[in-house]
A and B are shown apart, each in its own frame.
Chain A
């Protein structure tokens, strides 16, 4: 029973390791430096948003506005870049936009007590709409050559996108696992009333996690725009689906109160390795979606099952 618990608790570790080993043995071109560097680079934007969104999820919040922020923050950033020519100002503007939307989300959830899924869904429509207004419905491109350097500079053979994502993961990890703030995040999501009676200022925590989640989504959006050297207005929610998939496959509960940033890191890489393996084996991308969906269901079912076993 005890051994079973360890298996279940760290399931995502074993599964990700197993997948890695299987792919390394069976798939030509998987275990090569360029391929792995490529996977890291491709996962960068998702990891930036997902590692911070994990905090919101653990605090009991559900942030779907990540997709909208990641679409619109680079539009804001490029508008600023086009006007000023400053890459730094563009980066700051994109992040500030995400932070502002996140603060609005958090304040509405904490003070108006509207369900966070509904709040951030409504906010998504507002933000998507703002994106069309800001960009005047056109694709924006940087005027400066340097804009691409945000994500595409190579340092020690890894891209800056990778380095930024690793930095964000480390900061989110330490903030959650090592700080007073992180403990308060767990407490708020685990039992908000108990946390409040133990002196946790739960509303502040809720505002803070949504603000940080928005900030990270803004940064992720700017990094993505820097990789593609453009930004397009849209109302595409798909980014947040990838983020939530990584969080839940890692084993963070959508009910709040439990989870970890390392879990999200593994969840993201599990999905990334899977997709990479499919691509190397030239599996039809349409079937890839179906299989991905099944994998997410299995992961969540396994988690629910292991929870119900420990009465």
Chain B
């Protein structure tokens, strides 16, 4: 590059860019200018087209029509390599690292220091140190990437981008999988990238984050740009209104009437010891009762043992000891099918890895645990199955009746509703939901809260884990705080307070760390 273009000049410009997938118009005449050396946020509901735009900029998708210009010159990326050549890197939601190689190997993958065809480890380490000093990102260079936390893996990806002399980084939902304290570290890092002159296209669901971080915000709806503005001119509410095209209803549904906690609990856990939960005192286990009609939340940092607890209750992983009772029936062994038989359903943390069969239809995904009900002598009755699925989908508010649509074509919100639909069948007694609104757009969030509240008012015992404390406070009758695989505090409605929850979740650590 001969002369460094000035900060604030247009770095990437999209003009009337459109992209279609099957019958979905993912981007519809999008025009957008990203200025050099700024943090430019893209917000919108799931399916609004923000990821599509990010992928077109990064060369992962080719647009059907319209033009893309980098530094004023029209480009047509046919692969991510072309984008890399133009100084553009993307850091996707699902990180793309080689887990079995070290941090250094990953950072310099494809741009190794080589002499006579051999990698020069000492030179690589020298370059790595220089890079770490320049960016202020410190990760153990010899660590195996697969052993790192998600946050550290993300830092490795950022280092990799910088090592390639990237001028623009597309970050797609970088904070979705981070804990609260990790998020604030990420924010510092993104700001420091900008201060070094790197342009950041920042795609996020977290509006507070966007308002605090971005220099410019582009709001998208239904594949179109609603407007591009300065965050100072916006509030979280104004963003949401623009994203969903109407005023947002109250964020949370009214809580169902407080349940009768004197009756036999629907779910009763005694002395449960989860396998592999570090720091757990082996002599005691976890106790928990959930009454029919009660919504109980579990708060805690990522790694506090929340997910392990839920999975042990459901029988997804073997417990090392303890007892789980559903009504008066004990659950034994690591057998999800037995949990389902006595009326327990789990909505797992990761839809894609643990929840859904992406290649199969909505119908097959929803009916999967209940085929025994619609089969005679092992032969599935298609009409009975369709009735079951139609009723469940209606209850869960799964949009459009395309029961035969492959799951992968649905938006994140609709996929999550399908997971709810799977358990909205007669006979369910306990619903366990791990991060039920992760990666879900604002409009669908409210729908999911409604589903949880209505499930409880119909007499289900509901157990929810969430990293979003506001969500737990808004939904639950009772919240337990988990730290080091133990319950350290319990709060009951109406004494639910986010700051108090955080204080217990962090233990002695200062609360100011969190956002």
Which A residues fall within an 8 A CB radius of B?
1-2, 5, 174, 178-181, 183-184, 186-187, 190-191, 193-201, 257-258, 310-311
- Measured between beta carbons, the chain B residues less than 8 angstroms from A5 are 22
- In the complex, the answer to whether B316 meets A196 with C-beta atoms within 8 Å is yes
Contact A198 B380 (CB under 8 A): no
Task: Determine the distance from Cα of A184 to Cα of B337 in the docked complex, in whole angstroms.
Answer: 12
Q: Smallest distance from the beta carbon of B223 to chain A beta carbons, Å?
A: 15
**In the complex, chain A residues whose CB is within 8 Å of the CB of B346:** 197
- Cα(A174)–Cα(B377), bound, Å: 13
Evaluate whether A178 and B380 lie within 8 angstroms (CB atoms) in the complex, with A187-B368, A198-B422, A199-B340 already known.
yes
Within 8 A of A (CB), among B357-371: 357-360, 364, 367-369, 371
Interface of A is mostly: helix
Query: Please, which residues of chain A bring their CB within 8 A of the CB of B360?
Result: 186-187, 190, 257
Tell which of B20, B23, B355 touches A197, judged by Cβ atoms closer than 8 Å: B355
A196 to B346: give the CA distance in the assembly, Å: 11
Partner of B364, one of A179, A186, A196, A197: A186
B21 within 8 A of A: yes
Tally the A-B contacts, defined by beta carbons under 8 Å. 83
Contact B372 A186 (CB under 8 A): no
A2 to B372, CA, bound (A): 34
Task: Contact check, B380 vs A180: say whether CB atoms are below 8 A apart.
Answer: yes
Query: Would you call A183 and B364 a contact (CB within 8 A)?
Result: yes
Proximity bits, B300-315, A CB within 8 Å = 1, else 0: 0000000000000010
Chain A residues with CB below 8 A from B47, complex form: none
> Do A199 and B337 touch (CB < 8 A)?
yes
Give, as a whole number of angstroms, the nearest-CB distance from B481 to chain A.
26
Answer yes or no: B169 CB below 8 A from chain A CBs.
no
* Chain A: minimal CB distance from B339 (Å): 8
| A200 adjacent to B368 (CB under 8 Å) | yes
Q: Which residue of B lies closest to A181 (CB)?
A: B378
Determine the chain B residues whose CB is within 8 A of the CB of A183 once the complex forms: 364, 367-368, 371, 380
Ordered by A's residue number, 26 sampled pairs between the chains whose C-beta atoms are within 8 Å are A1-B22, A178-B380, A180-B372, A180-B380, A181-B378, A187-B360, A187-B368, A190-B357, A190-B359, A190-B360, A191-B354, A191-B356, A194-B354, A196-B316, A196-B336, A197-B336, A197-B348, A197-B355, A198-B336, A199-B336, A199-B337, A200-B368, A257-B359, A310-B22, A311-B21, A311-B61
- Give bound CA distance, A178 to B339, whole Å: 26
Residue B379 interfacial (CB < 8 Å): yes
B334 to chain A, nearest CB (A): 9
Complex Cα–Cα for A174 and B355 (A):
27
Contact of A195 among B21, B368, B378 (CB under 8 A): B368
B353 within 8 A of A: yes
Q: Which residues in B have their C-beta under 8 angstroms from that of A1? A: 20, 22
Q: Please tell me if B375 contacts chain A, counting CB pairs below 8 Å.
A: yes
B22 contacts A197, C-beta separation under 8 Å: no
B337 with A200: CB separation less than 8 A: yes
Residues of chain A within 8 A (CB-CB) of B348 are 194, 197
Whether the pair B22, A2 counts as a contact (CB closer than 8 A) is yes
Contact of B353 among A2, A193, A258 (CB under 8 A): A193
Looking across the interface, which residue of chain A has its beta carbon closest to that of B409? A310
* Whole-angstrom distance between the Cβ of B493 and the nearest chain A Cβ: 30
In the complex, which residue of chain B has the Cβ closest to the Cβ of A182?
B380
Question: A187: which B residues are within 8 A, CB to CB?
Answer: 357, 360, 364, 368
Question: Which of B355, B357, B367, B372 has a CB less than 8 Å from the CB of A257?
Answer: B357
Q: How far is the CA of A181 from the CA of B367 in the complex (A)?
A: 13
Q: Which residue of A lies closest to B378 (CB)?
A: A179
Closest to A183 in B: B371
A179 contacts across to B, CB distance below 8 A: 375, 378-380
Which residue of chain A has its CB nearest to the CB of B375? Answer: A180
Known: A178-B380, A194-B355. 8 other contacts (CB 8 A): A179-B378, A180-B380, A187-B357, A187-B368, A191-B353, A193-B354, A198-B340, A201-B337
- How far does the alpha carbon of A148 sit from the alpha carbon of B339 in the complex, in Å? 52
- The 9 A-B residue pairs whose C-beta atoms are closest, nearest first, are A190-B357, A199-B337, A199-B340, A180-B371, A199-B369, A198-B368, A180-B375, A198-B369, A179-B378
- For the complex, give the distance between the alpha carbons of A155 and B250 in Å: 73
Chain A residues closer than 8 Å to B422, beta-carbon distance: 198
What CA separation (Å) do A194 and B21 show in the bound complex? 26
A196 — nearest CB in chain B belongs to which residue? Answer: B336
Point out the residue from A180, A186, A199, A310 that lies within 8 Å of B21, measured CB to CB: A310
Q: Of the candidates B337, B339, B358, B367, which one forms a contact with A191 in the assembled complex, judged by CB atoms under 8 Å apart? A: B358
Q: How far is B353's CA from A191's CA once the two chains are assembled, in angstroms?
A: 7
Write the nearest CB–CB distance from B386 to chain A, whole angstroms: 14
Instruction: Name the contact of A180 in the complex, choosing from B23, B353, B357, B378 (C-beta under 8 A).
Output: B378
- Which residues of A are found within 8 Å of B21, using beta-carbon distances? 310-311
| A114 and B337 alpha carbons, distance in the complex (Å) | 24
0 or 1 for each of B322-352: is its CB under 8 Å from A? (1 = yes): 0000000000000011011100001010000
Residues of A close to B356: CB separation below 8 A:
191, 194
**Complex formed: what's the CA distance from A190 to B357 in Å?**
6
Among A5, A179, A198, A199, residue most surrounded by chain B Cβ atoms (within 10 Å): A198
Contact for B316 among A178, A184, A197, A258, CB less than 8 A: A197
Tell me, rounded to whole Å, the shortest Cβ–Cβ distance linking B405 to chain A.
12
A184 neighbours in B (Cβ, 8 Å)? 371
**B136 smallest CB distance to A (angstroms):** 36
Q: Give the complex CA separation of A1 and B21 in angstroms.
A: 8
